[in-house]
């Protein structure tokens, strides 16, 4: 009897694994937590994978139900004993090969455990985002330009429509930075530059590429506080974690912030600060810094990552 129902047990385990992964991916996608693991442009592929798993799950439901109607004993070699008078001597004395796993308990535990354990970890372990601790290992990217390096002036970056010629003169650039020059001109005309999640990386690059043009401009940014060697007592870095494709390529981006009471703010705490843009040299790079005017405590967002927009140049108005 034990051997008779072994195939039923195997079909049930396969069904449970397929159903578990399908529901898990569906939950991550619908709740938005999938963005803790991959960038938005890859979500569609996860949705396709979930659809494929759902198809396999439906087939496995059929096999599971059929196994109740035709339970077959499994021999030690992993074959079904399907005796037939017509083919009994044609195929190994009545052995009809099946695809059931071997009866070894430990082999089965190892085989199914390879699928069940990651599913259990994903279901029961909390989804926690990385913060300043990862920045210590990767190093903060301030988006600066090497001191003394000069871009080769080329055509002036042009926006559609008429643009003040004096502004164009400020944003002369080479072809490589042309799109950042266009973005820089848009930021230059704003009374307050807000570093929102969208285009955070692109704005940081534009601000640092043309750092001198933004001195004295007002800026507002939300992020976590991070400190590293080389900063003075009245400085810290306000940072964000950026994900390019998936959680494996996370990198920290940030800006130096400066205030007399900077040391009173705790590492990894989230704040929203407003200040004035200035420039400084840090690790042989010319970067912007923020002269803090006000600081407010903030809550860490549910999805704390920012993502690059590879098509941002097409969206510039």
Residue length of the chain: 317
Of 124, 154, 169, the residue at which a domain comes to its end is: 124
44-53, 61-70, 229-238, 261-270: least confidently modelled range: 61-70
- Measured between alpha carbons, how far is 77 from 79 in angstroms, rounded to an integer? 6
Is the same domain home to 218 and 97?
A: no
> Looking at the 3D structure of the chain, how many domains does it have?
2
Q: Which of the four pLDDT bands, split at 50, 70 and 90, describes residue 86?
A: very low
Of 124, 154, 179, the residue at which a domain comes to its end is: 124
Question: pLDDT tens for residues 16-33?
Answer: 899 989 998 998 888 888
Q: Which domain holds residue 17?
A: 6-124
Is 1 inside a domain boundary?
A: no
Question: pLDDT tens for residues 238-263?
Answer: 999 999 898 888 889 999 999 999 99
Is 185 inside a domain boundary?
A: yes
CB 271 within 8 A of CB 223: yes
- The residues, any chain, with a CB within 8 Å of residue 246's CB and separated by 6 or more, are 37, 38, 39, 42
Region 211-223: what's the mean pLDDT? 95
Check whether 149 has a pLDDT greater than 50: no
- Measured between alpha carbons, how far is 256 from 239 in angstroms, rounded to an integer? 9
């Amino acid at each position: 009897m034990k051997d008779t129902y072994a195939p039923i047990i195997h079909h049930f385990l396969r069904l449970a694994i397929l159903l578990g992964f399908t529901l898990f991916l569906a939950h991550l996608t619908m709740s938005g937590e999938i963005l803790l693991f991959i960038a938005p442009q890859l979500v569609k592929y996860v949705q396709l994978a979930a659809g494929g798993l759902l198809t396999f799950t439906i087939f496995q439901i059929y096999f599971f139900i059929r196994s109740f109607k035709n339970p077959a004993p499994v021999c030690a070699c992993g074959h079904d004993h399907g005796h037939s008078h017509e083919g009994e001597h044609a195929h190994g004395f009545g052995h009809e090969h099946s695809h059931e796993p071997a009866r070894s308990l430990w082999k089965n535990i190892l085989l199914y455990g390879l699928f069940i354990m990651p599913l259990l970890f994903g279901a029961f372990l909390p989804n926690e985002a990385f913060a300043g601790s990862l920045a210590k290992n990767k190093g903060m990217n301030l988006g600066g330009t090497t001191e003394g390096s000069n871009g080769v002036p080329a055509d002036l970056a042009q926006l559609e429509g008429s643009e003040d010629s004096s502004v164009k003169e400020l944003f002369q650039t080479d072809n490589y930075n042309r799109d950042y020059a266009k973005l820089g001109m848009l930021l230059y005309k704003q009374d307050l530059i807000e570093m929102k999640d969208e285009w955070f990386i692109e704005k940081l690059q534009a601000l640092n590429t043309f750092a001198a043009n933004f001195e004295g401009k007002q800026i507002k940014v939300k992020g976590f506080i991070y400190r590293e060697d080389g900063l003075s007592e009245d400085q810290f870095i306000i940072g964000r974690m950026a994900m390019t494709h998936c959680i494996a390529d996370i990198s920290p981006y940030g800006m130096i912030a400066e205030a007399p009471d900077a040391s009173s703010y705790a590492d990894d705490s989230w704040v929203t600060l407003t200040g004035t843009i200035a420039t400084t040299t840090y690790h042989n790079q010319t970067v912007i810094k923020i002269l803090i005017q006000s600081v407010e405590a903030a809550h860490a967002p549910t999805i704390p990552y920012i993502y690059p927009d590879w098509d941002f140049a097409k969206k510039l108005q």
